[in-house]
Chain A
Amino acid sequence: MDARITLHVDGVARSLTVDTRTSLLDALRDHLGAMSPKKGCDHGQCGACTVLLDGRRATTCLAFAVAHDGATIITAQGLANGDGLHEMQRAFLDHDGFQCGYCTPGQICSAVGMLEEAEAGHPSHVTQDLTGPVVLTDDEIRERMSGNLCRCGAYVNIVAAIREVARKEGSA
């Protein structure tokens, strides 16, 4: 069954017709050509499809596009300002925060969303004092990024990249 929806993707309003069964991920990739969100597991377990959905990091494989009519989506590609890289993208390059690169767009969107959660004072599973300030130690970064798998095992450098951006922003 078809539905007509509009998605605001990386700053552009895009109208499209989707079968109700279409995931948000497939709508982005197959209908709109937004290829930076990747299909890894398609079960919410790997994080490769992570985007910023209405400002918050979310997996797009476990969402139906039709249920997000009107949503604002920022993909890893949309974080850049043309050729000017987002500071998280720059940090992943500077620290070699990837090998094959497949999980990288999801890692970067997740990291950007994660830093905003930390800035808003949200605790994590490893936060000792639930009501205290959040300091992004490496343990905190690892826990908060556990929804993004990297089968190349670039975790050490991913943490280094995120740590650098967090320090610049004063949260680590």
Chain B
Amino acid sequence: MNPFAYERASNAAGAVAAVAGHPGAAFLGGGTNLVDHMRLGVASPDLLVDITKLPFDRVEELPSGGVRIGAGVRNSDLAADQLIRSRYPMLSQALLSGASGQLRNLATTGGNLLQRTRCVYFQDVTTPCNKREPGTGCSAIGGYTRYHAILGASEHCVAVHPSDMAVAMVALDATVVVLGRLGERRVKLVEFHRLPGDDPWQDTVLGHGELIVAVELPALPFATRSAYRKVRDRASFAFALVSVAAALDVEGGTVRDARVALGGVAHKPWRATQAEAALRGAPATAESFRRAADAELAAARPLDGNAYKIPMVRNTMVAVLRDLSAEATP
């Protein structure tokens, strides 16, 4: 591992100034992804600015009925938070399906959003990878693609975003609050992560030195009926092959509104807007749910090793929506 200097930030503006003014600097949160990358040689910052003592460790109710989550709130604390459990159960479920108990105790909300792909080629510094070393090529294309993207990929990168939490948050229309040298800005989470395009090394729209300070969830009363389902190779402590976060508003057998997002399928947590549009006003039946899934999957482009994800997404989405609509009709 390359040598690095370490500073513990005592205020957010100071942390931003320290990283923004130093090209090789990085923020250090829970460290569960960054420390590993430094050991693997995937990342080699020469200055770490520790932000874990900043006062961003609260989950607060907003006057609008929404919730503001500090960027430093640990994944375990967010999953266990009473507001989140009762109002946004899909978010608790998504968090609890990620990593392990001891990792969730370390990992933070901001860090979870910024974790990087688990593409095996990205993490193996002996192989070409456009995300890790721009212009070297993509080893996954034509290689082992079982875990890779079926939506929104490019000829330069087919990696998927690994977060569970972000999938639920993107379905919930979350906003990321970001502090930079010029002050705060707000970015919709759905626009926060990027598709790979021609520059897959850019995971998000953050500039160097910009710091996530909070994530805000708007009020969504029907999210009390929401769920996150994750399909993976083993029952626990594994990344998603595919996942579905959904909330359903059903009245008199008709879908009034729906929120659907997918994980494990794209370079970003994938908001399933086509599926949502197909669901609105449709009868709450398995046939409608299948049609909604197919509407979203019409754009899917499988690779050699991951065509299985198309029926897996369809089946998982139908199952989640069916379970949610069954809850609606006692």
Contacts and interface: CB of A to CB of B under 8 A. Distances in A.
A113 interface: yes
B6 A1 contact: yes
B32 A130 contact: no
Contacts of B8: 67, 69
Contact of B85 (A3, A131, A146): A131
Nearest to A69: B8
Given A67-B31, A67-B50, A110 B5 contact: no
A44 B105 contact: no
Contacts, number: 112
B236 A57 contact: no
A47 B35 contact: no
A123 B80 contact: yes
B196 interface: no
Q: Is the interface of A mostly helix, strand, loop or mixed?
A: loop
Interface in A103-143: 110, 113-114, 117, 120-125, 127, 130-131, 142-143
B44 to A, nearest CB: 11
B102 A1 contact: no
Contacts of A44: 32, 36, 103
Given A67-B28, A125-B236, A113 B101 contact: yes
A3 B7 CA distance: 10
A96 B30 CA distance: 34
Contacts of A17: none
A42 interface: yes
A126 to B, nearest CB: 8
Interface stretch (A28-36, A58-66, A75-83, A156-164): A58-66
Nearest to B96: A125
A117 B106 contact: no
B119 interface: no
A110 to B, nearest CB: 6
A23 interface: yes
A56 interface: yes
B110 interface: no
A66 to B, nearest CB: 5
Contacts of A56: 76, 105
B101 A114 contact: yes
A56 B237 CA distance: 19
Interface in A9-23: 19-21, 23
B86 interface: yes
B130 interface: no
Given A59-B102, A67-B6, 17 more contacts: A1-B3, A1-B5, A1-B6, A19-B3, A20-B5, A20-B48, A56-B76, A57-B102, A62-B35, A63-B31, A117-B76, A125-B96, A127-B96, A131-B82, A131-B86, A144-B101, A147-B237
Lowest 8 CB-CB distances: which A-B pairs, in order? A147-B100, A146-B236, A146-B237, A122-B80, A125-B96, A130-B85, A57-B102, A56-B105
7 contacts: A20-B6, A44-B103, A57-B102, A64-B48, A120-B80, A123-B85, A147-B101
